[in-house]
Amino acid sequence: MMTKRDRKAARAVLLALATFVFCAVEGWGIWKFSALRRFDLDIATAKPAPPDHYLAHDRGGHVDHHVLFHGLDEASLQHLRRADVLLMGNSRLMFALRGDALRRYFTARGLRPFALGFGHQEQHRFPQEVMTRHGLRPKVVLANVDNFFGGVTSPWGERVLADTAFDARKAEFEANASHVVRRVLHRVVPHVPDLVDGEREFVIYRAERDGSWFIATEFGASARLRGFYSGRDVVRPHNLALARAFKESVEAAGARLVFVLVPGPDVSLTHARQLADMTGVPLVAPEVEGLRTMDGSHLTDESAERYASVFFRYLDPVLDEVLRLP
């Protein structure tokens, strides 16, 4: 038989539970139906991964660093090893040159491309480490020289380089598990920073076949992107030394190096031209008017398609020339 004290304790527990349920339902209702809900949560509304793609990035971080460096996806690793053309650079490169455009252009030329760009503003060292680790021997390397030779590896890249195979598998498993749970959970329960601060989230999947990114979230379009900076600039000795060493390593692997420059805010065409002249590397840097970005930095789907069509026209004669070289 319950004592008076037990009954009071039970009532307190029930009251606390009822209060929690009421607050949860009320908060969900405010989020779901009021003006406070300014947009749907990106993780919940993102498109599903296409066939033969794996998770590359969500709010949990960049999974593809681990996958590509440690060779966690066997199909992707085989395509990487067979690639004739490697494209290296930052996330702007990956947003600008998407899978359909890559496949159309290079397949027509009888070449197998693989996009080896990374987020976290990764520079030349990390993709070079991937190339060395897996013994890659492409015919051509296209490097986006948007701060590519700064000599800095991102903290995330440093962690991936130091991780063991077990660490890499663990990180991949945790990222995928978290992604699946969040996709379901946030269809019902809001994420507070999204609600209060208006935070957005890129959800990205990577193609096993060619390494290209599939952007699963839709951000709309921000203001027009300005053209390249073409004023005064200078190439520092440190940057030049890194670029020359990178060229030597690419040529030692039997490949030819081509510099490219993908548009973005404050990207210096002057610097890219000087670097190309000093290293004797051809540069492909078309200027395309009226481009728009999703977030002030990365091209929208429509702008990426327009940019790629122009970019590959400029690349054509350069690729012909370097492939003819002995």
**Tokens read off for 234:** 């200078």
Residue 292 belongs to domain with CATH number: 3.40.50
What predicted TM-score, i.e. pTM, was given to this entire model? 0.85
Give the phi and the psi of residue 6 in degrees, each rounded to 5: -65, -40
In a domain, residue 280? The reply is: yes
pLDDT per position as a tens digit, 292-326: 999 889 999 999 999 999 999 999 999 999 998 77
In a domain, residue 35? The reply is: no
In a domain, residue 23? The reply is: no
Structural domain count of the chain: 1
Q: Which of 19-23, 168-172, 190-194 has the highest mean pLDDT?
A: 168-172
Q: What is the mean pLDDT of residues 196-202?
A: 67
Q: Is the pLDDT of residue 79 over 60?
A: yes
Q: Is the pLDDT of residue 126 over 90?
A: yes
In the block, residue with structure tokens 């004739």: 84
pLDDT per position as a tens digit, 37-73: 445 677 677 788 999 999 999 887 789 999 999 999 9
* Distance separating alpha carbons of residues 199 and 42, to the nearest angstrom: 9
Q: What is the mean pLDDT of residues 185-206?
A: 70
Listed in sequence order, the DSSP H helices in 64-164 are 64-70, 74-82, 91-96, 99-108, 125-133, 155-162
- Domain limits for position 58: 42-324
In a domain, residue 182? The reply is: yes
In a domain, residue 285? The reply is: yes
Q: Are 209 and 83 in contact (CB under 8 A)?
A: no
In a domain, residue 20? The reply is: no
How does residue 10 score in pLDDT terms, banded at 50, 70 and 90? low
* Distance separating alpha carbons of residues 77 and 79, to the nearest angstrom: 5
In a domain, residue 36? The reply is: no
In a domain, residue 311? The reply is: yes
pLDDT of residue 275: 98
